[in-house]
């Protein structure tokens, strides 16, 4: 079985590093370490925290804290970036827009046709491919939600 994963890192100095790997041979646990690196800098990201590959559009979604990581300022945003590093839309989902609740987005995950975003004490759900906010769920007692992982059930 050949899988074609994509590895990525986000630097706190407003740079995104995207590594596209060749193949992973799962049955033998041999990893092809040949990778092409794309370095993205100075494109307007504001404290990028997490990145998720959205295969349906062949793009990367990047959460941008854009201010305090713990204060609900209403100015966080999600960027949409092509694999070559060019920006499709810097503020694809924008916390400053009416009808959007997004303060300090951190971890993001895609499950089915939804984008889940961890944000201070809430998890926001956005529809894909529209980016329309569907719902926000407050996690009582939480003060710093950070990571989020898709699951089944």
Banded model confidence at residue 23, pLDDT cuts 50, 70, 90: very low
What is this structure's pTM?
Answer: 0.75
Q: Tokens representing 24?
A: 């992973």
**Nearest 5°: phi and psi at 55?**
-65, -35
31/43 Cα distance (integer angstroms): 32
pLDDT score of 29:
44
**Span 68-112, pLDDT tens digits:** 999 999 999 999 999 988 999 999 999 999 999 999 999 999 999
**Span 111-153, pLDDT tens digits:** 999 999 999 999 999 999 999 999 999 999 989 999 888 876 5
Question: Residues 28, 102: contact at Cβ < 8 Å?
Answer: no
Question: Residues 97, 25: contact at Cβ < 8 Å?
Answer: no
Domains of the chain: 2-24+33-138 (2.120.10.30)
């Amino acid at each position: 079985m050949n899988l074609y994963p994509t590895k990525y890192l986000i630097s706190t100095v407003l740079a995104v590093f995207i590594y596209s790997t060749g193949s992973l041979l799962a049955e033998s646990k041999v990893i092809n370490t040949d990778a092409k690196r794309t370095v993205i800098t100075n494109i307007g990201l504001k404290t990028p925290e997490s990145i998720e590959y959205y295969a349906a559009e062949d793009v990367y979604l990047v959460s941008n804290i854009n201010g305090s990581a713990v204060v609900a300022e209403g100015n966080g945003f999600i960027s949409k970036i092509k694999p070559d590093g060019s920006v499709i839309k810097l503020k694809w989902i924008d916390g400053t827009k009416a009808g959007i609740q997004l303060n300090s987005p951190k971890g993001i995950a895609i499950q089915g046709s939804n984008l889940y975003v961890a944000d201070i004490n809430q998890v926001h759900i956005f529809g894909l491919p529209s980016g329309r906010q569907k719902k926000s769920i407050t996690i009582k007692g939480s003060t710093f939600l950070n990571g989020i992982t898709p699951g089944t059930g």
